Amino acid sequence: MNKILSLDGLNRNVKVNFKQVHADPLIKMKKYVDAYTGIGPGLDKNGFPVTGLTEDFLEPKVGNKIPKKVQGTRRAMEIELDMPENSLKQTSAFWHNYFVRIGKESLELDLTNGHDLLKYLVVKAQSIVADGLTHILDHSSIEYVLYSEDQEAEQRIKGRRSLKDAYNLAEKLDLETKMNILATYGEITDATNVNSIIDKIDEKIEENPALFLKRANDDFLVVKSLITNALDKGILLMEDGAIYHGEVVVGHTKDLAASAIAEDKTLEAIIKAKLSGDMDLIKKALTTK
């Protein structure tokens, strides 16, 4: 939870953007051009709304200094919005229908505006909201993000740099490596379709250059490609997320399975032999100690 404890010291001379990470399908439908969605306070473990607002508190005691009482954001916002005291308490009926409305475009919040500031404090405290573009992938439950123009510009610069690096790397890769990379995306390719492989590699780069670079530089790239091909041929089986060779669990995730196979050269040889379909290689692999 990203709570701001006090408005003291908060830089309000900024504008913050708020948007959905993945657009609501309804918003994309042209006949609903005015469609929007909304986010309101979630519930805490006691069933109270997560408002993001804080009560007055004492500063931590340092040495012999007498702790000073600090005004929490709840009372500060009531004063800011000229609302009666306790109007914004967790138990207030105010929160029953409160939500922040957002359409397909990002919502700009001007923190010098009291109502925008309240929206900011509320959404910032929600578990489904990432505080900054770099934190979008921290949790699978993230649906919204708060970010500044500076952060967005930084992300664009990084994105362009990653795109350039990805294309430069792709030019240097041999065909087999490209096929291995595509296999980690779950795409089995034929070495005779060179142009198709190059086209698919370009697609992956354009979709997410950073992810492409991560996969291309993965130490277990070849083994992960082997696992994908073995799963495709039924040599390995996946059940409830775990990967099996026969009745033996190789790993409970693809990453763990790749690590295990890389360490077990006999198992790796057996899987490669089975993929080749060469009975002599299979017998040799099975008898290798």
Which pLDDT tens digit goes with each residue over 88-101? 999 999 999 999 99
Which residues lie closer than 8 Å to 113 by C-beta, 6 or more apart?
Answer: none
Could you tell me if 122 and 158 lie in one domain? no
pLDDT, residue 20, reads 87
CA dihedral 148, 153, 158, 160 (to 10 degrees): 150
Domain count, the chain: 2
> 3-state DSSP call for residue 65?
coil
Q: What is the pLDDT of residues 19-52, one digit of tens each?
A: 888 654 444 444 345 567 889 999 998 899 999 9
Residue 10 lies inside a defined structural domain of this protein: no
Range list of β-strands (E), the chain: 15-20, 37-39, 57-58, 69-70, 100-102, 107-110, 129-131, 144-147, 237-239, 242-245, 248-251
Could you tell me if 73 and 136 lie in one domain? yes
Residue 1 lies inside a defined structural domain of this protein: no
- Grade residue 156 by pLDDT with cuts at 50, 70 and 90: confident
What is the value of pTM for the model shown?
Answer: 0.53
Amino acid at 44: D
pLDDT, residue 27, reads 44
Q: What is the CA radius of gyration of the chain?
A: 27
Q: Give the DSSP letter of residue 68.
A: P
Could you tell me if 43 and 140 lie in one domain? yes
Could you tell me if 221 and 126 lie in one domain? no
- Indicate the residue among 128, 147, 166 that finishes a domain: 147
Could you tell me if 158 and 282 lie in one domain? yes
Could you tell me if 162 and 143 lie in one domain? no
Residue 67 lies inside a defined structural domain of this protein: yes
More confident residue, 108 or 9: 108
Could you tell me if 245 and 183 lie in one domain? yes
The rounded distance, in Å, linking the Cα atoms of 187 and 182 is 5
Task: Report DSSP letters for 179-248, one per residue.
Answer: HHHHHHTT----TT-HHHHHHHHHHHHHH-HHHHHHHHT-TTHHHHHHHHHHHHHTSSEEETTEEEETTE
pLDDT, residue 133, reads 77
Angstrom CA distances, 113 to 109, 122, 271, stand at 8, 14, 63
Could you tell me if 41 and 124 lie in one domain? yes
Could you tell me if 283 and 158 lie in one domain? yes
Residue 8 lies inside a defined structural domain of this protein: no
Residue 6 lies inside a defined structural domain of this protein: no
Q: What is the extent of the structural domain holding 191?
A: 154-287
